[in-house]
Amino acid sequence: MSEGGLNALTKQFEGCKLTAYRCPAGKLTIGYGHTSAAGAPEVTEGMTITQEQANQILASDMQKFERQVESLVKVELTQHQFDALVDFCYNEGKGNLVQSSLLRYVNAKQFDKVPAAFMLYNRADGQVLNGLIHRRAEEVKWWSSGEAPIDQEEMRATPDVPKAKTMADSKQGNTALVTSALGAAGAAKTVTDHAQDVVGQAQSANDLLTQIQGLLSNTNFDIMLAVVVAGFAIWYFRKQHMEEHGV
């Protein structure tokens, strides 16, 4: 990839973050958009790097995506066209490029259809992002003429902030609540059944105390109570994790 393409596309749109963050798709990211999926180093929560390390990681990552584009494209390209495809592959991943109409049009030399094919990829986690719309538009511009981006103010200088998730979005948390509710219902039924026995059998205060003690030692009641406690505990710790890490 040319230095001009790298600066105008990849570096400009990715921005450089020296502390790990979550991209709009929820993946841990650092440097110029590096994720663990791209290879070493693995990105972890709270990870920090230097600017020099960010440059080294980007150089290493770009070699991988350059080779991928070289292996997939079967026709001769200009430098600008190659730059645009490498940036696309870096941003969207090899899998999306392999399956895309973009690659099909390129290899068929139907270059008139390439711009529209670029613009199809404007979503992250199902949401259309302005940052991706602008990035695809600049890739098209670079593909067509090598012209550097003009509208600097509209370009994404920092990562888009992902939509905050709540416990309502947590499948594990919702399952825990349902489990607790079922356990509570089971415990309530056991108490109701036992209460009927107490009314029918208790002859004195001592008998009533004995019946209550019998409830506490009832296996079904103990199991249901444990289910309630376990379900609530799972929900609580899931909530703590989501508040701390956002996922």
Q: How far apart (Å, rounded) are the C-alpha atoms in residues 93 and 96?
A: 6
* DSSP-assigned letter for residue 38: G
At 143, list the tokens.
């593909």
Task: Classify 149 as helix, strand or coil.
Answer: coil
Q: How far apart (Å, rounded) are the C-alpha atoms in residues 233 and 184?
A: 14
Q: How far apart (Å, rounded) are the C-alpha atoms in residues 104 and 91?
A: 18
Contact (Cβ atoms closer than 8 angstroms) between residue 102 and residue 114: yes
Verify whether residue 14 is a known catalytic residue. Answer: yes
Return the half-sphere exposure (C-beta side, CA atoms, 13 A cut-off) of residue 128. 5
Contact (Cβ atoms closer than 8 angstroms) between residue 19 and residue 30: yes
Q: Counting runs of H as helices and runs of E as strands, what totals does the chain give?
A: 11, 4
At 165, list the tokens.
């998730």
Contact (Cβ atoms closer than 8 angstroms) between residue 115 and residue 140: yes
Annotate 68-95 with b (16+ C-beta within 10 A) or e (fewer).
bbeebbeeebeebbbbbbbbbbbbbebe
Set 14, 76, 92, 138: catalytic member: 14
Q: How far apart (Å, rounded) are the C-alpha atoms in residues 85 and 64?
A: 13
Please give the positions annotated as active site. Answer: 14
